[in-house]
Amino acid sequence: MSTMSPEVVRRVIEQVVREVATRQQPNGAAGASPGVDGIFADMDSAIVAADAAWRSYMDCSMKDRARFVQTIRDVALKPENLEHMAREAVEQTGMGNVLDKIAKNRAAAELTPGTEDLITEAWSGDDGLTTIEISPYGVIGAITPTTNPTETVINNAIGMLAAGNSVVFSPHPRATKITHWLIRELNRALVAAGAPANLIVTVQNPSIENTNAMMSHKLVRLLVATGGPGIVNAVLSSGKKAIGAGAGNPPALVDATANIEKAARDIVLGSSFDNNLPCTSEKEVIALDAITDLLKFEMVKNGAYELRDPALIDKLVALVVNGRHAVTDWVGKDASVILEAIGVLAPAGTRLIIAEVPFEHPFVRVELMMPILAIVRAATLDQAMDWAVIAEHGNRHTATMHSSDVNALTKMAKRIQTTIFVKNGPSYAGIGIGGEGYGTFTIAGPTGEGLTSARHFARRRRCVLVGGLNVR
Ligand code: NAD
């Protein structure tokens, strides 16, 4: 039988005392219902508990924080948990594929920076010493998408707790069950590691009403929305500090100087990753006329199926596009399942459907998030760049380009202004999977934080000591 250290016992007692005290406060918290392992009946109770947890968390050392961050990584990286999260997310949301979801959850656990991301700045001189330290907001409200349900919780929880906050999650209703499972596991493990209970909370029944209640709750100091334009606009209109990680529609530009074989392989890998669910995945290809045939040929060699019959392409449009939106039932489905629905039997190993279409086509315009990739033929490099910029819709999210012309790569990166610009690699290299740099699942283009990490979930606070501690 394991015994609790006196330090852990002290924290548990403090936590209980704080929770009781908080429920007696005249701020709407009275009558708050207790949660179990971070899951609460109502939003107010969840937030009040997260606030109490944060106050307790402030007494923990940086070493404690680092340990708790490691606890989150350990929970996520248990092989049986990786498998469970991937299988259940596919089952419950009806989107994506298990192997890629395992890779995504692993990336979230391994590549998200922890406390080392919080760098202190200092000035010292005749007048003394001034520091800028990175300090928590308190309770953060985080809204997570159906496309990366557990990945975003792992990624946000690591970054937000590393920065000293607690977090209330508002998951997509379709991903509730697996998000609850993860939040329970994380709470149990964190408490066992000596962390305050309820650093990571949510509600039993996530809904738009609950998200709205979270957004307007006075104890929530920062909102972080990872999702489409609706929720990003909602947090930006909340009157609170907000980080918005919104939609993308990443173009992949391939010019005549590219290594076409490699470009084709990279694009198929990136675009078919988790059935095209990632916001970073290639959503359309703009290729120079001279190399388009070779590119398609090489893509087919790497698991793409080319749909050539215009009538079948129209049938596919009717199936998966509704006006300016993708039809949810087909988002993240396997390429073979989508093809079967239009009467095409896909060869074994098909990961991606490609179709050559004119630039104005819905497959270019709409963020499909399914393994269907438009191929557009451009006459000149300038036209290709113009089209790539238009197709990205000004989201400033992600673009890729395959080229060995440094000037062309530079020109394109300047023109498209995306947060992520991957040169000569699959799109996922941009979030640290096979590319240098840390990873994230919350890419804040609209609000400019870029690839978010602990430092973005924190406030910059200046401490000034006048006339001392300067040894220069
Ligand atoms: P979604 O916008 O439908 O939902 C995202 C979250 O917001 C969900 O939890 C949902 O319940 C909630 N929500 C949506 N509208 C709301 C409203 N009006 N009020 C309250 N809550 C609301 O998106 P999704 O289908 O779950 O995810 C896919 C979208 O997210 C795509 O557009 C994708 O590009 C984007 N995304 C962006 C990033 C990024 O880092 N920038 C990461 C993943 C996904």
Distance CA 32, CA 197 (A): 16
Ligand 1 pocket test: pick from 143, 202, 325 the residue with the most ligand atoms within 8 Å of its Cβ: 143
- Report the percentage of the chain scoring pLDDT > 70: 93
Ligand 1 atom nearest to 208, measured from its CA: 20
What is the reported pLDDT for 471?
A: 80
Three-state SS at 399: strand
- Ligand 1 pocket member 235 (CB < 6 A): no
Query: Does the beta carbon of 211 lie inside 6 Å of ligand 1?
Result: yes
Which range (7-11, 72-76, 250-254) has the least confidence? 7-11
Q: In the annotation, is 279 catalytic? A: yes
Q: Verify whether ligand 1 is closer than 6 Å to residue 247 (CB atom).
A: yes
What's the pLDDT tens digit per position in 1-48?
345 556 655 665 555 554 544 444 433 344 456 789 999 999 999 999
For the chain, the distance separating the N- and C-terminal CA atoms, rounded to the nearest angstrom, is 55
At 388, list the tokens: 């790539």
Q: How far is the CA of 215 from the centre of ligand 1 (A)?
A: 15
Q: Please state which of the ranges 2-6, 103-107, 340-344 shows the lowest mean pLDDT.
A: 2-6
C-alpha–C-alpha distance, residues 387 and 267, integer Å: 18
Are 251 and 284 a contacting pair, CB within 8 Å? Answer: yes
- With a 6 Å cutoff on the Cβ, whether 367 touches ligand 1 is yes
> Residues, the chain, total?
472
Q: Is 143 in the pocket of ligand 1 (CB under 6 A)?
A: yes
Whole-number pLDDT of residue 469: 79
Residue 321 region, left (φ>0) first, then alpha (ψ -120 to 50), else beta?
beta
Average pLDDT, the chain: 94
CA dist list (Å): 172 to 41, 152, 208, 332, 377: 17, 11, 9, 15, 37
Residue nearest to atom 2 of ligand 1 (CA): 228
The Cα-based distances of 101 to 4, 83, 160, 276, 434 in angstroms read 36, 9, 22, 11, 16
Question: Which residue has the CA at smallest separation from atom 34 of ligand 1?
Answer: 247
What is the residue-wise DSSP string for 191-247? HHTTPPTTSEEEESS--HHHHHHHHH-TTEEEEEEESSHHHHHHHHTSSS-EEEE--
Ligand 1 centroid from CA 208, angstroms? 12
Please give the pLDDT value at position 26.
34
Measured from the CB, is residue 425 less than 6 Å from ligand 1?
no
Ligand 1 contact, 171 CB (< 6 A): yes
What pLDDT is attached to residue 2? Answer: 42
pLDDT on residue 470: 79
Give me the pLDDT at residue 32, please.
Answer: 55
Instruction: Report which secondary-structure segment, H or E, holds 253.
Output: strand 251-254
pLDDT at 468: 82
Is the CB of residue 245 below 6 angstroms from any atom belonging to ligand 1? yes
288, β-bridge pairs: 378
Which member of 197, 243, 279, 375 is catalytic? 279
Q: Beta strand 251-254 with 284-288: parallel, antiparallel or unpaired? A: parallel
Half-sphere exposure of 225 (CA within 13 A, CB side): 24
Ligand 1 and 147: CB distance under 6 A = yes
CATH architecture of 6-246+451-462: 3-Layer(aba) Sandwich (3.40)
Mutate to test the pocket of ligand 1, among 168, 172, 236 (most ligand atoms within 8 A of CB): 172
| Cα angle, residue 236 at apex, residues 162 and 54 outer, rounded to 5° | 30
**Confidence bin at 315 (pLDDT 50/70/90):** very high
Name the token pair of 122. Answer: 């200092």
Per CATH, which fold does 251-431 belong to? Answer: Aldehyde Dehydrogenase; Chain A, domain 2 (3.40.309)
State if residue 93 touches ligand 1 by the CB under 6 angstroms criterion: no
Kindly report the protein residue whose alpha carbon is nearest to atom 44 of ligand 1: 227
**Ligand 1 pocket test target in 95, 211, 275 with most atoms within 8 Å of CB:** 211
Alpha-carbon Rg of the chain, whole angstroms? 24
Which atom in ligand 1 lies closest to the alpha carbon of residue 445? 41
Q: What atom of ligand 1 comes closest to residue 175's alpha carbon?
A: 9
Compute the distance between CA of residue 408 and CA of residue 365 in angstroms, rounded to an integer.
Answer: 24
Alpha-carbon span 161 to 62, nearest angstrom: 11
- Where residue 314 falls among pLDDT bands split at 50, 70, 90? very high
Indicate the domain borders of the chain.
6-246+451-462, 251-431
- State the pLDDT at residue 30: 42
Q: What is the pLDDT of residues 361-409, one digit of tens each?
A: 999 999 999 999 999 999 999 999 999 999 999 999 999 999 999 999 9
Q: Is the pLDDT of residue 240 over 80?
A: yes
Q: How far is the CA of 156 from the centre of ligand 1 (A)?
A: 15
Can you list the alpha helix ranges (DSSP code H) found in 94-175? 98-111, 149-162
Nearest CA to ligand 1 atom 19: 208
To the question of pTM greater than 0.85 for the whole model, the response is yes
Q: How far is the CA of 235 from the centre of ligand 1 (A)?
A: 11
Nearest CA owner, ligand 1 atom 28: 227
Distance CA 450, CA 442 (A): 8
